């Protein structure tokens, strides 16, 4: 997603990292606003769901062929 120059400046001023933006947009709840705008935010239930997913990912791994960006397999470690 493209970030406007103004947004990039404000995000830096407010301490946003790229990881934060990815998490909020990919896992947050969208809320429609006036003017064809959508606000994404992490509500308590979103954070709870993410924490549960992270816990379930413990001791799991995914093997990737980096030369072709292809997942080969997934396994428990």
User: pLDDT averaged over consecutive 10-residue blocks of the chain (77 residues)?
Assistant: 95 96 95 96 96 95 96 97
Query: In which region does residue 60 sit, left (phi positive, over 0), alpha (psi from -120 to 50) or beta (all else)?
Result: beta
Crossing angle of helices 18-27/44-56, nearest 10°? 100
Q: Are the CB atoms for 64 and 70 separated by under 8 Å?
A: yes
Structural domains counted in the chain: 1
Contact between 58 and 48 under an 8 Å Cβ cutoff? The reply is no
Q: What is the pLDDT of residue 1?
A: 86
Instruction: Give the pLDDT confidence score for residue 37 in this predicted structure.
Output: 96
**Residue 1, C-beta contacts closer than 8 angstroms, at least 6 positions apart:** 25
């Amino acid at each position: 997603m493209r970030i406007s120059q103004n947004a990039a400046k404000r995000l830096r001023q407010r301490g946003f990292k790229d990881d934060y933006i990815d998490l909020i947009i990919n896992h947050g709840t969208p809320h429609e606003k006036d003017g064809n705008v959508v606000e994404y935010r992490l509500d308590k239930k979103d954070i709870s769901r993410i924490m549960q997913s992270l816990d379930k990912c413990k001791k799991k791994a995914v093997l990737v062929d980096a030369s072709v960006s292809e997942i080969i397999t997934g396994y428990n470690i």
